[in-house]
Amino acid sequence: MRPLNLLVITVIACVMAWLPSAGLAGDKEQALEIEPCTVSLRHDEFKSIQMFGRVNVTYLKGSAEELGLDRQEITEHLQELFQENFPDMERDDDLLPFFVDDPRELGYVRCIITTAGEEDPLALHVRLRSGNFIEIDGRMVVVRIYEKDDLTMSSRDSIAADVQKRLQDMMQDLSEEFYDKRKE
């Protein structure tokens, strides 16, 4: 690979980490760090979650599917990790916050994957978010309680395994944070 291509991919990866993504809560605060970081927003809200709704994966920008990342396969992997890390929590993908008495009792887990590049090395950004919902003036608003980012380089041959490994680490970290805050 030519040095210019590597430089372009690195610059794109850095810019992707700084760009605001499709924010669920509308937060305009964005961490300007490229290294993996955890943003603790409202961890006390973990205590109010009684069950989880949707646990899913979203792709933003890039060519994730062309690189061999099957969204359904990764979503199923994320859901398996959820079951392993949250064995006592009920989950119903079809349950929406409108159908529960207190929307704060319904949690969500969302993974956002962004890729850059079509040739090796590839830039890979994995973001894991979790939170719950509140009702304001008759509208449901998503509350982000937990967010963790990981920006790394990968290759076509290992990108699926790299995503799965990062999700495994992130889900373990999320469950530790979730149960620690619920004990307080």
Distance CA 115, CA 62 (A): 5
pLDDT of residue 157: 92
pLDDT digits (tens, 9 = 90+) for 86-121: 999 999 988 888 788 899 999 999 999 999 988 889
| Strand blocks (E) in 22-137 | 37-40, 51-60, 90-91, 106-116, 122-136
First to last CA, the chain: 52
Residue 1 has pLDDT above 80, yes or no: no
Strand 106-116 relative to strand 51-60: parallel, antiparallel, unpaired? parallel
The phi and psi torsions of 124 (rounded to 5 degrees) equal: -130, 125
pTM: 0.75
The amino acid occupying position 43 is: H
pLDDT of residue 164: 95
Residue 4 has pLDDT above 60, yes or no: no
Q: Which residue type sits at 29?
A: E
- Which tokens hold the place of 54? 């949707």
Q: Which residue has the higher pLDDT, 122 or 138?
A: 122
If one compares 51 and 43, the residue with the highest pLDDT of the two is 51
